[in-house]
Amino acid sequence: MYTDDFEFVSKVRNVNVEHYENLPVLGRLALISTNLVGSMGFFFIICAWTFLWILWNTYAPASVRFDPFPGFVLWLFVSNVLQLVLLPLVMVGQNLQSRHAEARAEADFELNVQAEKEIKVLLGHVEKQNSLILEILRRLDESEGSR
Protein backbone atom coordinates (compact mmCIF):
# COMPACT_ATOMS: atom_id res chain seq x y z
CA MET A 1 0.00 0.00 0.00
CA TYR A 2 2.77 2.47 0.91
CA THR A 3 5.64 0.78 -0.89
CA ASP A 4 5.98 3.74 -3.25
CA ASP A 5 7.56 5.66 -0.38
CA PHE A 6 10.49 3.25 -0.11
CA GLU A 7 13.65 4.65 -1.56
CA PHE A 8 16.37 2.07 -1.85
CA VAL A 9 19.59 4.01 -2.16
CA SER A 10 21.90 1.29 -3.42
CA LYS A 11 23.08 -2.21 -2.76
CA VAL A 12 25.51 -2.66 0.08
CA ARG A 13 29.06 -2.82 -1.21
CA ASN A 14 31.51 -5.45 -0.05
CA VAL A 15 34.56 -3.23 0.30
CA ASN A 16 36.80 -6.16 1.20
CA VAL A 17 36.13 -7.86 -2.13
CA GLU A 18 36.48 -4.59 -4.06
CA HIS A 19 39.78 -3.84 -2.34
CA TYR A 20 41.23 -7.29 -2.98
CA GLU A 21 40.07 -7.36 -6.63
CA ASN A 22 41.62 -3.96 -7.34
CA LEU A 23 44.99 -4.76 -5.78
CA PRO A 24 47.82 -5.31 -8.25
CA VAL A 25 50.08 -8.33 -7.77
CA LEU A 26 52.78 -6.20 -6.17
CA GLY A 27 50.23 -4.75 -3.77
CA ARG A 28 49.17 -8.24 -2.72
CA LEU A 29 52.81 -9.18 -2.27
CA ALA A 30 53.36 -6.06 -0.13
CA LEU A 31 50.38 -6.96 2.07
CA ILE A 32 51.55 -10.54 2.51
CA SER A 33 55.05 -9.34 3.36
CA THR A 34 53.71 -6.72 5.76
CA ASN A 35 51.58 -9.31 7.54
CA LEU A 36 54.57 -11.65 7.88
CA VAL A 37 57.36 -9.18 8.57
CA GLY A 38 55.21 -6.95 10.75
CA SER A 39 54.27 -9.77 13.10
CA MET A 40 55.63 -10.37 16.58
CA GLY A 41 56.56 -13.90 15.55
CA PHE A 42 58.95 -12.56 12.91
CA PHE A 43 60.37 -10.10 15.43
CA PHE A 44 61.05 -12.90 17.93
CA ILE A 45 62.63 -15.09 15.25
CA ILE A 46 65.01 -12.31 14.18
CA CYS A 47 65.88 -11.47 17.80
CA ALA A 48 66.50 -15.10 18.69
CA TRP A 49 68.54 -15.73 15.55
CA THR A 50 70.74 -12.66 16.14
CA PHE A 51 71.15 -13.46 19.83
CA LEU A 52 72.11 -17.10 19.14
CA TRP A 53 74.43 -16.06 16.30
CA ILE A 54 76.33 -13.64 18.52
CA LEU A 55 76.42 -16.04 21.49
CA TRP A 56 77.67 -18.95 19.39
CA ASN A 57 80.35 -16.95 17.66
CA THR A 58 81.47 -15.34 20.91
CA TYR A 59 81.40 -18.20 23.43
CA ALA A 60 81.58 -21.44 21.42
CA PRO A 61 84.95 -23.19 21.16
CA ALA A 62 87.08 -21.50 18.51
CA SER A 63 87.21 -24.65 16.37
CA VAL A 64 83.39 -24.74 15.90
CA ARG A 65 82.75 -21.05 15.42
CA PHE A 66 81.60 -20.48 11.87
CA ASP A 67 81.80 -16.70 12.00
CA PRO A 68 84.59 -15.52 14.32
CA PHE A 69 84.86 -12.00 15.75
CA PRO A 70 85.26 -9.75 12.74
CA GLY A 71 82.67 -11.81 10.83
CA PHE A 72 79.71 -11.45 13.15
CA VAL A 73 80.04 -7.70 12.88
CA LEU A 74 79.33 -8.33 9.21
CA TRP A 75 76.17 -10.21 10.28
CA LEU A 76 75.01 -7.17 12.22
CA PHE A 77 75.64 -5.03 9.15
CA VAL A 78 73.71 -7.47 6.92
CA SER A 79 70.81 -7.60 9.37
CA ASN A 80 70.67 -3.80 9.44
CA VAL A 81 70.61 -3.71 5.64
CA LEU A 82 67.79 -6.27 5.70
CA GLN A 83 65.88 -4.04 8.09
CA LEU A 84 66.42 -1.04 5.82
CA VAL A 85 65.06 -3.02 2.86
CA LEU A 86 62.04 -4.33 4.77
CA LEU A 87 61.13 -0.95 6.29
CA PRO A 88 59.81 0.61 3.03
CA LEU A 89 58.06 -2.65 2.19
CA VAL A 90 56.22 -2.60 5.51
CA MET A 91 55.36 1.08 4.97
CA VAL A 92 53.85 0.30 1.55
CA GLY A 93 51.80 -2.50 3.08
CA GLN A 94 50.63 -0.22 5.87
CA ASN A 95 49.58 2.40 3.30
CA LEU A 96 47.53 -0.25 1.49
CA GLN A 97 45.96 -1.35 4.76
CA SER A 98 45.16 2.28 5.56
CA ARG A 99 43.41 2.75 2.21
CA HIS A 100 41.41 -0.39 2.88
CA ALA A 101 40.41 0.89 6.32
CA GLU A 102 39.33 4.22 4.78
CA ALA A 103 37.24 2.39 2.18
CA ARG A 104 35.58 0.32 4.94
CA ALA A 105 34.81 3.48 6.90
CA GLU A 106 33.31 5.11 3.81
CA ALA A 107 31.16 2.03 3.13
CA ASP A 108 30.00 2.04 6.77
CA PHE A 109 29.01 5.69 6.43
CA GLU A 110 27.08 5.00 3.19
CA LEU A 111 25.30 2.10 4.87
CA ASN A 112 24.40 4.27 7.86
CA VAL A 113 22.98 6.99 5.60
CA GLN A 114 20.95 4.38 3.70
CA ALA A 115 19.66 2.87 6.96
CA GLU A 116 18.69 6.31 8.25
CA LYS A 117 16.65 7.03 5.10
CA GLU A 118 14.90 3.68 5.34
CA ILE A 119 14.17 4.19 9.05
CA LYS A 120 12.60 7.57 8.26
CA VAL A 121 10.35 5.89 5.68
CA LEU A 122 9.38 3.18 8.17
CA LEU A 123 8.64 5.76 10.84
CA GLY A 124 6.40 7.56 8.34
CA HIS A 125 4.53 4.28 7.80
CA VAL A 126 4.15 3.75 11.54
CA GLU A 127 2.82 7.29 11.98
CA LYS A 128 0.35 6.75 9.11
CA GLN A 129 -0.79 3.45 10.62
CA ASN A 130 -1.21 5.11 14.03
CA SER A 131 -3.41 7.80 12.54
CA LEU A 132 -5.47 5.14 10.69
CA ILE A 133 -5.84 3.09 13.88
CA LEU A 134 -6.96 6.20 15.78
CA GLU A 135 -9.49 6.95 13.03
CA ILE A 136 -10.82 3.38 13.22
CA LEU A 137 -11.09 3.64 17.02
CA ARG A 138 -12.88 6.98 16.73
CA ARG A 139 -15.40 5.47 14.27
CA LEU A 140 -15.91 2.47 16.55
CA ASP A 141 -16.58 4.76 19.49
CA GLU A 142 -19.07 6.76 17.39
CA SER A 143 -20.85 3.63 16.20
CA GLU A 144 -21.06 2.25 19.75
CA GLY A 145 -22.27 5.61 21.03
CA SER A 146 -25.10 5.75 18.50
CA ARG A 147 -26.50 2.38 19.58
- Is residue 2 domain-resident? no
**Whole-model pTM?**
0.56
- 95 occurs within a structural domain: yes
Residue 4 lies in a domain: no
Buried b (16+ CB within 10 A) or exposed e, 81-106: eeeeebeeebebbeebbeebeebeee
Q: Answer whether residue 84 is part of any domain.
A: yes
Tell me which residue range forms the domain holding 92.
12-145
Q: Give the total number of structural domains in the chain.
A: 1
Distance CA 106, CA 85 (A): 33
Task: Assess whether pLDDT exceeds 50 at residue 1.
Answer: no
What is the overall mean pLDDT for the chain?
83
- pLDDT on residue 124: 94
Helix, strand, coil tally for the chain in percent (to 5): 80, 0, 20
Is 5 a domain residue? no
CB contact at 8 A, 100 and 14: no
pLDDT at position 135 over 90 = yes
Q: What tens digit of pLDDT does each residue of 95-118 get?
A: 888 888 998 898 899 889 999 999
Spatial neighbors of 107 by CB under 8 A, at least 6 apart, are 12, 13, 15
Residue 99, in any domain of the structure? yes
